[in-house]
Amino acid sequence: MARQQERKLPLGKIEPNSAKYFYSCALGGITACGPTHTAVTPLDLVKCRRQVDPKIYTSNLSAWRTIFAKEGLRGVFFGWAPTFVGYSFQGAGKYGFYEYFKNLYGDKLFPNMNRTVVFLGASASAEFLADIALCPMEAIKVRMQTTLPPYARNLREGWSGIVTKEGLSGLYKGLYPLWARQIPYTMTKFATFEETVSIIYKTLGKPKESYSGLQQTGVSFLGGYIAGVFCAVVSHPADVMVSKLNADRKAGEGAMTAVSRIYGNIGFPGLWNGLPVRIVMLGTLTGFQWLIYDSFKMFLGLPTTGGH
């Protein structure tokens, strides 16, 4: 069995918690996040536009029909390029650094710490770094998707337009709200996933290793979907604010001033615009991300995440 497994490893034998292991997890994060976020671009496009202007479309279906009639399939997937690049970078940082910090906090620095606290701390640290890579692409994507006519037609035009008018700082003006959205989201995503997977295996009554690879990745998908629902609720108000800030922040306006002004305009109910769509989107998205990530790990001969 061991010799058969070693022959399947494309990167050679990978020692747990080695540099090669963390690098491999980062590759898995790219594979899990870039394509999946790009695949749900049509949902994200409509969600962002409805967050900025709740009256722009009467429903999601009418939105897609309207966009497709005017712009075709390209219009429905508008903003896919910065989405793919940004979330590939973010996925590498989020999953790679999560595995690194989980080992650092849980095994080296605080070996007796409650595991849920370790999951929360590791995921928060990982997302803090991952968002620095994501932020420029997120700024471009949101401006492209929420302005009509579009701020830019593609990634290159979006980058050039922001940098020319506002400098590199323009790409990072949404960083604080992005942290406010993504860090709680990722903490919920990873901790809920880990705990959910553990509960599933305990409920099934047998150790994880006794199940086939297909069964383990099925558990990963279910755990990921459940985690995604929690993620959507926890992070949605900040997600709305990120969309509003990137589309409606005035020149020279401070972040907190802009947040206060926007909140004054939309109120508390406005922070929840588009939540049902986001629950469906993030549940599906997170489920498939964990499915792809753990499938990638198994392909490399590594154990799936959670359930230990």
pLDDT tens digits, 107-165: 999 988 999 999 999 999 999 999 999 999 999 998 999 888 888 899 999 999 999 99
Picking from 48, 68, 107, the residue whose alpha carbon sits closest to that of residue 242 is 48
Rounded Cα–Cα distance for residues 17 and 15 (Å): 6
pLDDT in tens, 181-222: 889 889 989 999 999 999 999 998 888 888 898 999 999 999
> Counting every residue, how long is the chain?
308
Tell me which residue range forms the domain holding 276: 19-300
Rounded Cα–Cα distance for residues 122 and 109 (Å): 12
Residue 14 in domain: no
Residue 167 in domain: yes
pLDDT in tens, 217-241: 999 999 999 998 888 888 788 777 8
Q: Per-residue pLDDT for 6 more than 60?
A: no
Instruction: State which of 98-102, 228-232, 261-265, 284-288 shows the largest mean pLDDT.
Output: 98-102
How many domains are there within the chain? 1
Confidence (pLDDT) at 72: 93
Stretch 37-55: mean pLDDT, rounded? 85
Confidence (pLDDT) at 1: 35
Report residue 248's pLDDT band, with 50, 70 and 90 as the boundaries.
low
Residue 219 in domain: yes
Rounded Cα–Cα distance for residues 97 and 120 (Å): 13
Residue 77 in domain: yes
Residue 212 in domain: yes
Report residue 12's pLDDT band, with 50, 70 and 90 as the boundaries.
low
Kindly tell me the sign of the dihedral angle through the C-alpha atoms of 85, 162, 177, 233: negative
> Where are any strands of DSSP class E within the chain?
none
Report residue 3's pLDDT band, with 50, 70 and 90 as the boundaries.
very low
Confidence (pLDDT) at 122: 97
% of the chain at pLDDT higher than 90: 53
The SS3 of residue 14 is coil
Residue 56 in domain: yes
Distance from the first to the final alpha carbon of the chain: 21
Kindly tell me the sign of the dihedral angle through the C-alpha atoms of 265, 271, 275, 279: positive
Residue 267 in domain: yes
Kindly tell me the sign of the dihedral angle through the C-alpha atoms of 8, 13, 17, 19: negative
Lowest mean pLDDT among 39-43, 154-158, 191-195, 249-253: 249-253
pLDDT in tens, 63-112: 999 999 999 999 999 999 999 999 999 999 999 999 999 999 999 999 88
Confidence (pLDDT) at 246: 65
Regarding predicted confidence, which is higher, 258 or 119? 119
- The CATH number that applies at residue 212 is 1.50.40.10
Q: Is the peptide bond before 16 cis (omega within 30 degrees of 0)?
A: no
Residue 308 in domain: no
Confidence (pLDDT) at 54: 75
Q: Per-residue pLDDT for 261 more than 90?
A: no
